[in-house]
Amino acid sequence: MATESARNPTAADPVTFTRDRRYLRSLLLMLAGASFFQGYDNQIFALLLSDIQSDFRVGESTLGAINIVSELGTFAAFFVARGSDRFGRRALLLWSVAGYTLFTALTALSWDVWSFASMQFLARVFVGTEYAVSVTIIVEEFPARRRGRALGVLLAAGAFGSVVVAGLLGSGLQDGPLGWRTFYLMGLVPLVVLGVYRRRLRETERFAALQAARAARAEQTARVKRADPSFLLPWQPRYRRPLVLVGLVYVFTAIPHYGATAWWAFYAERERGYGSGEISFFVICAYGLGIVGYLLCGRAMERFGRRPTALVYAAGALVSTAVLFQVGDKRLAFALVVLSVVFGLGIRPVLGAFATELFPTEIRGQTAAWIRNVFEIVGTTAGPAVVGLLGDHTIGAIGTIGDTVTAVVLLYLPVIWLIWRYMPETRGRLHEDRLVTRS
């Protein structure tokens, strides 16, 4: 139950609401299950890029264009995710999981490359919504001392989804009668998870208190309550600077990260001569060990702070990924793949904290949607597309995937500068502590 101070959802004390530990464990399991299939879906395209290319008979530049279409679904998710500030976190999470499941399964029925892109576009609308709402729920429900670890577990579940895809690839599932389509049909499993946990999921106490406060104000003033904040509210002068700051960090992190992730398996097979078994082994080990990166990030951001943790992870991602796409020795490449996942994916919990802890409850869902589904989508779309266009072996300006990724990875440098120079420390706080950006 919420404490007495829940009557004022913008009170200064960030630990105003408490949940039973048993419910928090169940909640984290539910959110982790949804995150697992997000990672699963994202990794299918990356690991089966060569199979999809052969089936649809398209070039690398077309594959980059396909990625643009599908990732634009995450941009469209902005308009859906902002509904969590009107309809509530619970309802939107449940609908997003159901929508993601439906369109992931329908991807298996694609008849050409553009129907594939269209189904993935719609799937990404819902998976982008699910991620934004999940992060918001964790920030609002978990106490400050456990929030970092919970975000780490959420992202680790996504990495485990990538491990499962790699394991299925190594088992030869793609060689069955349905080929790569079998992987997407398995996306129907979240419906089972949704059915089990649907009745146990509650609305967040912070949002429920906010709704109660809105209703009370509406009753007292005899006006209709404002249940749908304008989507431009996060752009008010007092929030604009942190919104743009965090948004730019997301953009410059996403471009190199998603560019490298989307093309590594293709690069390893076409430019380094790896077999599917080797690629599967590398990814299983990298993402299996990479889960540690999420968990360490969660603990480090609680012990040492958000800013120093983010700086270390961004620097680690820059060095390991840049070198990975230049080395030929497979033993060294294996270590670098692991480090790239540890740092490149492991930074996600601290980025999620920046995107939510700087903003008040009444617009937290909206700001998370702006950052995740507008700013970040620029990076997730541009990264793979730029690598595909510049690295195309026939028409690309650079002509190789490896050299292109190494050049793009340099965008981690502005990430490091922005965090070091301007990002405030948010450890143990929410916006209600009157955080301000560093001048």
105-153 pLDDT, tens digit per residue, is 888 888 888 888 888 888 888 887 887 788 778 877 777 777 777 877 7
Q: Give the number of other Cβ atoms within 10 Å of residue 58's Cβ.
A: 15
Rg of the chain in Å (alpha carbons): 21
Distance from C-alpha of 2 to C-alpha of 5, rounded to nearest angstrom: 8
Q: What confidence category does residue 11 fall into, taking pLDDT thresholds of 50, 70 and 90? A: very low
Residue with tokens 């619970």: 90
Is residue 10 included in any domain, yes or no? no
Is residue 5 included in any domain, yes or no? no
User: What SS3 state is found at 44?
Assistant: helix
Q: What confidence category does residue 197 fall into, taking pLDDT thresholds of 50, 70 and 90? A: low
Residue 425 — φ and ψ, nearest 5°? -85, 130
Q: What is the DSSP letter of 329?
A: -
Q: What local confidence, expressed as pLDDT, does residue 221 receive? A: 52
Residue 227 — φ and ψ, nearest 5°? -100, -5
Distance from C-alpha of 203 to C-alpha of 22, rounded to nearest angstrom: 16
Distance from C-alpha of 159 to C-alpha of 262, rounded to nearest angstrom: 14
**Taking the chain, what is the end-to-end CA distance rounded to the nearest angstrom?**
39
Interval 286-293 mean pLDDT = 76
Q: For residue 414, with 0-12 CB atoms within 10 Å meaning exposed, 13-18 middle and 19 or more buried, which class applies?
A: middle
User: What SS3 state is found at 183?
Assistant: helix
Is residue 157 included in any domain, yes or no? yes
Interval 10-35 mean pLDDT = 65
Is residue 8 included in any domain, yes or no? no
Q: What local confidence, expressed as pLDDT, does residue 82 receive? A: 65
Nearest to 272 by CA among 343, 342, 335, 334: 334
Nearest to 34 by CA among 100, 82, 78, 83: 100
- What are 17's strand-pairing partners? 2
User: What SS3 state is found at 311?
Assistant: helix
Output the six-digit token pair for 83. Answer: 């509904």
Interval 348-376 mean pLDDT = 81
Parent domain of 413 = 15-433
Distance from C-alpha of 386 to C-alpha of 381, rounded to nearest angstrom: 9
Q: Tens digit of pLDDT for each residue in 204-246?
A: 777 777 767 766 665 555 444 444 456 678 888 888 898 999 9
Q: What local confidence, expressed as pLDDT, does residue 215 receive? A: 66
* Number of domains present in the structure of the chain: 1
DSSP string, 229-281: --TTGGGSHHHHHHHHHHHHHHHHHHHHHHHHHHHHHHHHHHTS---HHHHHH
Is residue 203 included in any domain, yes or no? yes
Distance from C-alpha of 166 to C-alpha of 51, rounded to nearest angstrom: 14
**Taking the model in full, what pTM does it have?**
0.62
Phi-psi region of 399 (alpha: psi -120 to 50; beta: other; left: phi over 0): left
CATH number of the domain enclosing 242: 1.20.1250.20
Output the six-digit token pair for 267. Answer: 């690069």
Is residue 275 included in any domain, yes or no? yes
Q: Where are the alpha helices (DSSP H) in 48-112?
A: 49-56, 60-81, 84-87, 89-107
Q: Tens digit of pLDDT for each residue in 243-277?
A: 999 999 999 999 999 889 888 888 988 888 888 78
Is residue 2 included in any domain, yes or no? no
**What angle is formed at CA 61 by the lines to CA 59 and CA 62, rounded to 5 degrees?**
65
Is residue 9 included in any domain, yes or no? no
Q: Tens digit of pLDDT for each residue in 305-338?
A: 889 999 999 999 999 999 999 998 888 999 999 9
User: What SS3 state is found at 57?
Assistant: coil
